[in-house]
């Protein structure tokens, strides 16, 4: 749990493992690029897996907020919610922590790496 909204009573939960969760790595960004891949398809997509779990990908702002609570993704990286204008051009955003700083990058949404997964946020 990373937060509690006293007005709504909602508790906010986020993945706080040191590295991007193992079972959510080596995925591309979304279903559109998963379906478009002809070879070397990953097991799934970050957006689709998150939806199946009933959770949301972190935004860049939420990711940076998480990094204020500790040091995460020093060896991995995490897809973050990508704005439609970036996604419509084939890109997707991801973040990590290197050299004591938080970085946001872009990549083709179809890319998948063994060390790239996603983190989630959920309020109850």
Percent of the chain with pLDDT over 90: 85
User: Where residue 41 falls among pLDDT bands split at 50, 70, 90?
Assistant: confident
User: Where residue 11 falls among pLDDT bands split at 50, 70, 90?
Assistant: very high
The full set of domains in the chain, from first to last, is 3-123 (3.10.100)
Residues 6 or more apart whose CB falls under 8 angstroms from that of 82 comprise 29, 91, 92, 93, 109
Average pLDDT over residues 17-40: 92
pLDDT mean across residues, the chain: 94
- 51-66 pLDDT, tens digit per residue, is 999 999 999 999 999 9
- 71-97 pLDDT, tens digit per residue, is 999 999 999 999 999 999 999 999 999
- Contact present, 105 and 60 (Cβ < 8 Å): no
């Amino acid at each position: 749990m990373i937060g509690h909204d006293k007005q709504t009573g909602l508790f906010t939960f986020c993945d706080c493992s040191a590295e991007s969760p193992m079972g959510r790595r080596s995925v591309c960004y979304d279903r559109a690029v998963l379906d478009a891949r002809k070879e070397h398809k990953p097991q799934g997509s970050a957006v689709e897996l998150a939806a199946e779990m009933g959770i949301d990908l972190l935004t860049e702002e939420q990711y940076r907020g998480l990094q204020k609570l500790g040091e995460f993704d020093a060896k991995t990286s995490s897809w973050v919610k990508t704005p439609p204008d970036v996604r419509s051009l084939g890109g997707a955003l991801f973040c990590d922590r290197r050299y004591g700083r938080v970085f946001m990058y872009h990549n083709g949404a179809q890319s998948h790496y063994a060390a790239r997964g996603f983190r989630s946020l959920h309020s109850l």
